Structure 1
Amino acid sequence: MRKEYDFSKAQRGPAVASPGKTRITIMLDDDLIEFFRAKAEAQGTGYQTMINATLRATVAEEQGHSSENEPLTVAALRRVLREELHS
């Protein structure tokens, strides 16, 4: 990097927001976090994504929606194949 750059008047830009998502702070039990982290690592996905999917499935079940009516996604197909291969 050049020594002539002057960052003394630089400002940090705003964080890029994810559309349709809200950042929150939530306290979860350690054993739950470890469960989702281990499961996510085994499936090759993020543990926060798994927690979100679990919450979404619970809400859908509570509202009387069945996940069987939803279109099959690549992520869902991979999950099912991994479950079948491991059993």
Structure 2
Amino acid sequence: MHTESDLSKPAASAARAVKRKTRITIYLDDEVLKQFRSLSEQSGKGYQTLINAALRTRLTGARTEPSPAL
């Protein structure tokens, strides 16, 4: 049975931010993954978060650099 106070609270799903990430499968070199996991232990942040940040930094830097000739 719902009471008036129950209806005044927003649903938990309504309060969540819009999801802006996509789950994928990716193969990384063992050495690369080991390094990110080590950095994760040192920083206290998740290794996937660190990989995402590194890729984002690289992409941001790539916008200001000229593209290499293929």
Q: Which TM-score band (shorter chain)? A: 0.5 to 0.7
Deviation at residue 35 of structure 1 after TM alignment? 0.1
Amino acid aligned to 1:57: T
Looking at structure 2, the residues matched to 49 and 41 of structure 1 have their Cα atoms a distance apart, in angstroms, of 12
Quick check: which one's helix share is greater?
2
Report the count of equivalent residues: 47
Deviation at residue 38 of structure 1 after TM alignment? 0.3
- List per-residue Cα deviations over 1:15-37 (Å, max 9, x = no partner): xxx71100000000111000000
Structure 1 segments of 4+ aligned residues over 3 angstroms from their partners: none
Q: TM-score, normalised by structure 1?
A: 0.52
**Structure 2: gaps (5+ residues):** 1-17, 65-70
- List per-residue Cα deviations over 1:67-86 (Å, max 9, x = no partner): xxxxxxxxxxxxxxxxxxxx
**Structure 1: gaps (5+ residues):** 1-17, 65-87
Looking at structure 2, the residues matched to 53 and 44 of structure 1 have their Cα atoms a distance apart, in angstroms, of 14
Q: TM-score, normalised by structure 2?
A: 0.64
1:31 correspondence with 2:36: no
Partner of 1:53: 53
